[in-house]
């Protein structure tokens, strides 16, 4: 029984120590959601005017690569590599918002259960003010965690649509640039000799 009581005391101590990092994490999460909301609003306004920063950057990279004296035999491979790199960057941009969707409720739940344990301990000791303070912390943390998660989820819905649209447009732009580049590029000496022989 003494071993069990010691283990329970140890777990209670660990959970009490975790309260500060959990609350600090929720505060940082709030600031992160506000910052991301600003960037999201700016991207939304840009896209309403037909401006897509990832697409613009991709076109510039693709044009620079194709005009850099690339060997014709490796042209498709190079374009595919640039396309995959750009698509991977778009998918990684979604990971930032998905992180909040998953972490927000987890931190909120931890921020609820830890103060509830402290509150029950205070109730057993008859310390009602401490119990009331712990209950306020418990309910506040879960509300904040869920609010951050909901806001992140709503933004991710729109962001995923943008990412899918950008990927389709990148593939289309790649095909167009490859066709225009191969049709406008003069034949090499070897290709001209092959045409003369045939």
Neighbouring CB atoms inside 10 A of 53's CB total: 12
- List Cα–Cα distances, 104 to 85, 115, 189, in angstroms: 30, 17, 62
Question: Do 55 and 170 meet the contact criterion of CB atoms below 8 Å apart?
Answer: yes
pTM: 0.75
| d(C-alpha 162, C-alpha 51), whole Å | 12
| d(C-alpha 61, C-alpha 111), whole Å | 46
What does the DSSP assignment read for 163-181?
A: HHHHHHHHHHHHHHHHHHH
Domain boundaries, the chain: 25-182
Question: Do 85 and 107 meet the contact criterion of CB atoms below 8 Å apart?
Answer: no
Alpha helices in the chain (DSSP H): 2-48, 53-66, 75-125, 128-184, 189-197
Question: Do 153 and 77 meet the contact criterion of CB atoms below 8 Å apart?
Answer: no
Residue whose token pair is 């609350």: 23
Q: Could you tell me the end-to-end alpha-carbon distance of the chain, in angstroms, rounded to an integer?
A: 95
Q: What is the pLDDT tens value at each position of the chain, 198 positions in all?
A: 677 777 777 777 777 788 888 989 999 999 999 999 999 999 999 989 888 888 888 888 888 777 765 565 667 778 888 888 888 988 888 888 899 999 999 999 988 888 888 787 777 787 788 788 888 888 899 999 999 999 999 999 999 999 999 999 988 888 887 777 766 555 444 444 444 444
| d(C-alpha 9, C-alpha 2), whole Å | 10
């Amino acid at each position: 029984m003494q071993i069990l009581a010691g283990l329970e005391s140890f777990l209670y101590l660990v959970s009490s120590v975790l309260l500060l990092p959990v609350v600090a994490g929720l505060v940082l999460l709030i600031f992160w959601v506000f910052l991301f909301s600003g960037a999201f609003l700016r991207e939304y306004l840009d896209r309403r005017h037909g401006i897509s920063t990832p697409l613009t950057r991709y076109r510039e990279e693709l044009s620079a690569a194709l005009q850099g004296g690339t060997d014709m035999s490796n042209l498709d491979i190079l374009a595919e590599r640039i396309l995959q790199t750009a698509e991977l960057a778009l998918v990684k941009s979604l990971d930032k918002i998905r992180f909040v969707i998953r972490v927000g409720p987890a931190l909120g739940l931890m921020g609820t259960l830890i103060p509830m344990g402290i509150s029950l301990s205070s109730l057993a000791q008859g310390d009602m003010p401490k119990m009331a303070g712990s209950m306020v912390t418990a309910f506040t943390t879960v509300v904040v965690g869920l609010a951050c998660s909901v806001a992140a989820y709503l933004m991710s819905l729109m962001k995923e649509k943008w990412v899918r649209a950008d990927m389709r447009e990148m593939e289309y732009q790649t095909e167009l640039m490859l066709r225009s580049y191969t049709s406008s590029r003069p034949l090499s000496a070897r290709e001209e000799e092959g045409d003369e022989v045939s």
